[in-house]
Structure 1
Amino acid sequence: MSRTVIVVIDGFGIGAMPDAGTLRPGDLAADTCGHVLDHCREALGRPLRLPALGALGLGLVHPHPDLARRTSLPLAVGRAALGYPGADTFAGHQTMMGADFSRVTVARLAEHLSDVTAALKSAGHLVEPLDGRPLLVVDGAVLVHDNLEADPGINWNASGRLDDLPFDGILAIARTVRTVAPVARVIAVGGHADGPLAAYVRAGDGGTTGLDTPASGFYRNGGLQVRHLGADIDHDRQLPNLAARSGIPVTLIGKAADILASEAAVRRPAVATADVLAHTLEAVRAGVDGLVVANVQETDLAGHQQDTERYGRILEQTDAGLAALTGLLDRDGDRLIVTGDHGNDPTIGHAYHTREYVPVLMYRAGATGVKLLPDAPSLADVGAMAAASLGLDLG
């Protein structure tokens, strides 16, 4: 057995997939990595400091003048298509871990208001529409609405201010919505807003209506709590459960702790990048063989905020953590896989995810040379690589 660590840099794409313009034609120009590098060089007067990502081969799969093209590390590097419709964190992680997520049900909340209202009322909640618009106010405090940060109809949210009620109350409402929701995710979101949530409701694309979460201040004001309630899929065949059944310890960190299913896993939920990296380093320093899956979420949040400089700062912070991880994974057979789940180009002109290829950068302790991988058709290939390093077969 060995130590295998997957670090998902959320929203870190390296160029548009051929079908990226199907929903938004402008997305064919998406390049999260390249545009962040270009913008930050101009804004900061220097290139981003990403020596670890350079050493891990990012410049080999995304040729950019600010990225190193040479490395002395033993690597296998390439890029992966997403392997699922749209560009979504939940679907991306589930696909990566081995679930068949090729069919995602798309539905606007407006099409299911009666079912959602009935379920919430049966659970004892007070439910009313907000000013005649197709979203619901539950118990006078929580908005149930279309998610405006993913492609239209992929996800619904239950959002509330933690000043008005504890997160457990928001989560309970989200769980009730989940019982009747046909969409990929119902997301419970609690935070501290700049004002009443109704002031930040707007129309989105494709007939959606919801809370403009970035504008509300939830991402800026600290204390953010999020729980992702996914569609019913077969988790038993996914990598975390397969590893656990084989006696391999599993640790899930950051957003991965919220959206991946494994009762046996140690969970370390966190949003702040410093906390995600600290938990990941702690898991590796423990010296126990096993699987660690970590998600760096704040890159994705910066993309949604269209804050390119913040995205660059988080990349630099992540890079320092990757350098430390590489130094710790020193046993023959240890593996570090750095990838993404979709793109989120902060320069593209909207706050949605972008449908991009993602890097697949695998450090192979004890190996030699650099192996260039062909384009993978799906993020499932990333999970299969991790499974192989642990002596498992995802099938």
Structure 2
Amino acid sequence: MRYRRIFTIVVDSFGIGQDPEAERFKDAGANTFLHIYQSQQGLDVPTLYALGLGQLDHVDRTQTMGYACRLQEASNAKDTLTGHWEIMGLLTTQAPITFTEHGFPPELIHELEKQTGRKVIGNKAASGTAILDELGEEEIATGHMIVYTSADSVLQICGNEDTFGLDELYRCCEIARQITMKPEWRVGRVIARPYVGKKRGEFVRTANRRDYALQPPQDTVLDALKEDHYDVIGIGKIHDIFSGRGLTQTLHSESSVHGMEQTTSFLDIDFTGLCFTNLVDFDAKWGHRRNPAGYKNELETFDKKLKQFIEGMRNDDLLIVCADHGNDPTYSGTDHTRELVPCLMYSPDMKKSGVLPDGRSFADIGQTIAENFGIADRHWLGRSRLSELI
């Protein structure tokens, strides 16, 4: 075992463009990092540049520590679920089903109404904030249930925390998850979207979101680590994305800043294994809402938190900063964008730094983790980069 603790931080949606499959996904020219940099007249992220981020897109030549490379997604997808699954070794050949154009079929809605005892309103693709302004007052007045989707493979249900109630919202989502296990309705995630407020213009979504994801179809690197009695800590959406599988401890995050603070707190905890963090605000708050200024500010805040994290690392710690897909906030529409992602790796014990060759799968990350902890390679994608980290 070379590293006793590995911290893998997923900056949700932080793509770096130029994916060979982009045109097939109708994402030609998308580049989350570069277009934020250009549209906002630069980015003040010295820690990420020191790790080699700017070298990957020829934006900033600064690199003083660690190794950087770009990874290509091998799966036939561009969403959070399959991106994280691939990071931990799994290939998804069939993209998750979406209902963006026409909403959910009448048969699904009828079954959901029957089993929950509530009438469905909405049933279309929409922005989460826009649909609250449109239907929030009606939901509060009638007790009806707002159901909507997006460009992702999701069924989302809104519930006002004061009038609908969190327990009832979660109950309805659990029913929706069971209904959508049918092959023709099998969305990647059912998402509970609680909110507060009493009238249009005042509605605010809360941190009590809950995702009900499909189970990974095979064991991941997380499962193997747990089986070999290593600690596997999930922070943020990791528990939801993997349906709790392969984890020994989980923490819910209220924001990306909170997620980084939780991750940093584990520097003072003696464990052996993996701390796996998802920072969702980049995607949910800024990418989907096509807000490059907000994305820039979130990145700059993250960079400061990352500096604090690195200052507290031990010599036998390894940091991996990566992403699960792109979501270019300057691009058309509101969907994720198919992009390469950065992979930045650093440990205080490294004697050199530099840019490594691109990888053909996000699963290079999982394979690196697996080799470090002596986990036998199973069916996983990717190749380990451990020998390159010198």
Q: Structure 2-normalised TM-score? A: 0.82
Counterpart for residue 167 of structure 1: 166
Is the CA contact 1:162–1:191 (under 8 Å) kept in the aligned structure 2? yes
Relative to 1, partners in 2 of residues 1:36 and 1:241: Cα closer, same or farther, differing over 3 Å?
same
Instruction: Tell me by how many angstroms 1:354 deviates.
Output: 0.9
Q: 1:1-395, aligned counterparts within 5 Å?
A: 1=1, 2-24=4-26, 27-41=27-41, 47-64=42-59, 67=60, 69-73=61-65, 75-108=66-99, 110=103, 112-121=105-114, 123-128=115-120, 140-145=143-148, 147-150=149-152, 154-181=153-180, 182-192=186-196, 195=199, 221=204, 223-234=206-217, 237-260=219-242, 261-262=244-245, 264-300=247-283, 301-332=285-316, 334-370=317-353, 372-395=355-378
Q: Report if aligned partners of 1:80, 1:379 keep a CA contact under 8 Å in 2.
A: yes
Identity of aligned residues (%): 26
Using the alignment, how far apart are the partners of 1:248 and 1:384 within structure 2?
16
Q: Distance in 2 between matches of 1:347 and 1:133?
A: 24
1:111 CA displacement: 5.7
1:100 is aligned with what amino acid? L
Number of equivalent positions: 355
* Residues 255 and 295, structure 1, Cα contact 8 Å, conserved in 2: yes
SS of alignment partner, residue 30 of structure 1: coil
Amino acid at match of 1:291: L
Closer, same or farther in 2 for the Cα pair 1:264/1:350, shift >3 Å?
A: closer
Structure 1 Cα separation of the partners of residues 98 and 295 of structure 2: 31
2: CA distance, partners of 1:78 / 1:331: 22
* SS at 1:29 equivalent: coil
CA distance in 2, matches of 1:240, 1:170: 29
Q: 1:274 & 1:111 partners in 2: Cα distance?
A: 35
Are 1:171 and 1:188, in contact at CA under 8 Å, matched by a contact in 2?
A: yes
Kept in 1: contact 2:121–2:147 (CA 8 A)? no
Equivalents in 2 of 1:318, 1:92: separation in Å? 21
Kindly provide the amino acid, as one letter, of the partner of residue 173 in structure 1.
Answer: C
Deviation at 1:385, TM superposition (A): 1.6
Cα deviation per residue 1:115-166 (whole Å; 9 max; x = unaligned)? 4522551x35233555x97999998332222x2243xxx2221222223322
Deviation of 1:193 (Å): 6.0
Relative to structure 1, is the Cα distance of residues 183 and 361 closer, same or farther in structure 2, using a 3 angstrom cutoff?
same
